[in-house]
Amino acid sequence: MKLAIVVDSSCGLTKKEAEKRGWYFLPLYLDIDGKEYKDGIDLNVDNFLKIYNENSIAKTSCTPIGEALQLIEKLSKENDFVVIYPISMGLSSQQQNLEVISKEFKNVFVIKSKNVCQLIVKDLVELEKDVLANEVTVKQAISRIEKRDYTQAPILLYPKDIQVLVRGGRLSPSAAKLAKLLRIFPVIGFQDGNLEKHDKGVTFTKTFYNTAIDHYKKLSKKNKITLMFLDTANPEADKMFEEFRNKINYTGPIIRYSIPPIIAAHTGYGAISIFFTYLEKDIKEYNF
């Protein structure tokens, strides 16, 4: 059986990194200060920070339908099954666009995504291994992903610059002014595919420690818990990461990375994100 896996740049991989896994790649588009880039092709986590700064105006958009159709049509002819795992359908119309295209092909399936970043990679590594080992069918593997309950372990986002949330339409200007006046730092929870208010605090650092520790305590009794810690150019991130790990006496597997550019454009400079997941296989098999 020939299986083709397609990701977009929201998963945190560049095109080259996806191709090393034998996967195919659709770039999301990012306009920074009036110049357009293909995320994961023109941009990666390193050069993104040379282009994007604290005062940048950034806009994101889906993969052009013609570009997506060209790749899907080619893969449909060359493979028995094509599985596409895009950015969460609660964050973008990418999902809807790809589903419209997929209806033209009987062997193309678009996962109803509720994820971003390394969680997409995690799901696809498990899907690929299980399907190719004949443990489950493609449809069964997709169904298992779509039925997972993501509400119990949301991604927590700590934006340092809440004006970025205003520009992205995630926070009203009046709420931002009030937050600044009261020195409130919001905590955003990404769960079940959508961004929602999770908590708040009076300083960035204290807010992070208090809410992240509380979040960990609720999940720490689970087996195979893995800590994922991402940031965008936060000079204190490494220090905060080490202190957090010490505070909770965490000795399990760790994924330490940068927030993907397409996501970082909406979360802003200095943002930190932390979340936990349960790996079905040894972390070495994921090669994050």
* Tens digits of residue pLDDT in 25-50: 999 999 999 999 999 999 999 999 89
* Nearest alpha-carbon partner for 22 in 160, 130, 125, 122: 125
pTM: 0.91
* 9-18, 129-138, 216-225, 263-272: least confident range: 216-225
Strand partners, 189: 156, 196
Residues of CATH 3.30.1180.10 domain(s) within the chain?
155-285
Asked whether the beta carbons of 101 and 107 are under 8 A apart, the reply is no
Q: Is CATH 3.30.1180.10 what the domain over 155-285 is classified as, yes or no?
A: yes
The three-state secondary structure class of 35 is strand
- DSSP helix/strand/coil, 226: strand
Q: Give the separation between CA 14 and CA 27, rounded to whole angstroms.
A: 9
Distance CA 88, CA 280 (A): 22
Contacts of 140 (CB under 8 A, 6+ apart): none
Residue with tokens 């930190």: 272
Q: What is the CATH code for 3-146?
A: 3.40.50.10170
Q: Say whether pLDDT at 151 is over 80.
A: no
pLDDT in the model for residue 194:
75
> For 101-118, what is the mean pLDDT?
96
- pLDDT tens digits, one per residue of 170-204: 555 554 554 455 456 778 888 777 777 778 887 88
pLDDT for residue 56:
87
What pLDDT sits at residue 178? 47
Q: DSSP H helical segments within 188-236, as ranges?
A: 204-219
Q: What is the mean pLDDT of residues 221-228?
A: 77
3-state helix vs strand vs coil in the chain, percent to 5:
40, 25, 40
- The predicted pLDDT at position 24 comes to 98
As annotated, the residues of the chain forming the CATH 3.40.50.10170 domain(s) are 3-146
Residue 143: predicted pLDDT: 97
- Residue 189's identity, in one-letter code, is G
Q: What is the mean pLDDT of the chain?
A: 89
